[in-house]
Amino acid sequence: MTDTELLQALYNDMQTVKHKVTSLDEKVASLDEKVASLDEKVASLDEKVASLDEKVASLECEVSKINVTLENETNRNIKIIAEGHLDLSRKLNEAVRLSSDIKAKQEIQDIYINMHQNQLRAL
């Protein structure tokens, strides 16, 4: 093999390497664009996650306030109302019992009135 042939073969190999390097450069440039796009998307996601974290913290605060209100006010008020209803129930039971007693006495009085009316008619 002559020097010219060797140089030509070397030149051809260099052209192939040059073509591959150019192709590799294009792929790296494309990859750089994709990485830049991915960085933008990650930055956008970071902002959204930060916003969601703030909202979750706000919701946790609101839920805590609601729980405190339920424990301190609502449950206590329900107990007070329940105690009032219990008293009303007792008073109703007492009124029903008194009404029954009065009705029983009235029936006895009606019987006595009937007996006296019959005695008066007999006279």
Model pLDDT for residues 28-83, shown as the tens digit of each residue: 999 999 999 999 999 999 999 999 999 999 999 999 999 988 888 888 888 888 88
Residue 116: inside a domain: no
Distances (CA, A) of 45 to 40, 48, 52, 123: 9, 5, 10, 110
Question: What gap in Å lies between CA 85 and CA 94, rounded to an integer?
Answer: 14
Question: What gap in Å lies between CA 50 and CA 56, rounded to an integer?
Answer: 10
Residue 122: inside a domain: no
Q: Residue 57's domain spans which residues? A: 1-95
pTM over 0.75: no
Tell whether the model's pLDDT for residue 84 goes beyond 80.
no
Per-chain mean pLDDT for the chain:
90
What integer pLDDT is reported at residue 21 of this predicted model?
93
Domain count, the chain: 1
Mean pLDDT of 108-120: 91
Question: What gap in Å lies between CA 120 and CA 111, rounded to an integer?
Answer: 14
Residue 114: inside a domain: no
Band (pLDDT 50/70/90 cuts) for residue 95 is: confident
Residue 101: inside a domain: no
